[in-house]
Amino acid sequence: DQQVKQNSPSLSVQEGRISILNCDYTNSMFDYFLWYKKYPAEGPTFLISISSIKDKNEDGRFTVFLNKSAKHLSLHIVPSQPGDSAVYFCAASANAGNMLTFGGGTRLMVKP
Amino acid sequence: KAGVTQTPRYLIKTRGQQVTLSCSPISGHRSVSWYQQTPGQGLQFLFEYFSETQRNKGNFPGRFSGRQFSNSRSEMNVSTLELGDSALYLCASSLQGANNEQFFGPGTRLTVL
């Protein structure tokens, strides 16, 4: 039973446009959510996080939105750059723990 | 500040053997977690160590074990290797406390023949 799902395995966006990556979860105990970016042969790199007490968090070009009632979060990248091309994972944890449950990832391709 | 380091980066073993992977966390980080990444199952949590004690454990068989030393460095061991253990094993470290971001190492690519 996948508790964190990323239903789009891939996404292609033109440089300069907005990239929107989506993530759904089922476990109501999740209270902290993170996005990671991963290049081949490297470990995931932390991008941005959000606590369940918030519905939005921004960091530069990256904004994460959390809709608790829908159990849905999204990552917006504006403007998208070719260097953003990578696999993006959303992850969730419960009760302030460090045990992360990951989604299956979305491969983002930003075309010049 | 140096990042999380993992050794070795690549490893080839045969079925039935055992393997030990090592992880050095970011200086000052006391929590070390291990994850397994495979094409079929994605990224899955193995276990977390904090102050030399296992704090959380994922749904993996007892062949997977780990430990943490007083300097926060951690090792994980897989005994009686199976073909399905071929994966990228990732180590992540974080500060103690609530809701801390985990910083990942580059991983150890294990191939079981």
Summarised one tens digit per residue, pLDDT across range B30-88 is: 999 999 999 888 899 999 999 999 988 999 999 999 999 999 999 999 999 999 999 99
pLDDT at res. B40: 84
Is B94's Cβ below 8 Å from some Cβ in A? yes
Residue A90, amino acid: C
Residues of A in contact with B43 (CB under 8 A): 44, 89, 91, 100, 102, 105
CB contact, 8 Å: B75 with chain A?
Answer: no
* A102 burial via Cβ count (<10 Å: 0-12, 13-18, 19+): buried
Render each residue's pLDDT in chain A as its tens digit; 112 residues: 789 999 999 999 999 999 999 999 999 999 999 999 999 888 999 999 999 999 999 999 999 999 999 999 999 999 999 999 999 999 999 877 788 999 999 999 999 9
Task: For residue range B74-89, list pLDDT tens digits in order.
Answer: 999 999 999 999 999 9
Count other C-beta atoms under 10 Å from residue B44's C-beta.
Answer: 17
Q: How far apart are CA A71 and CA B9, in angstroms?
A: 37
Alpha-helical regions (H) of B1-113 = none
Q: Is A47 exposed, middle or buried, given 0-12, 13-18 or 19+ CB atoms closer than 10 A?
A: buried
Which of B54, B101, B103 would you mutate first to test chain A, the one with the most A CBs within 10 A?
B101
Residue % of chain B over a pLDDT of 90: 84
Give residues 48 to 67 of B whose Cβ lies within 8 Å of A: 48, 50, 55-56, 58
Rg (CA), chain B: 13
Structure tokens at A95: 């009760």
pLDDT for B2: 79
B35: closest CA among B90, B103, B99?
B90
Residue B8: pLDDT band (50, 70, 90) is very high
Nearest chain B residue to A30 by CA distance is B99
CB contact under 8 A, A98 and B101: no
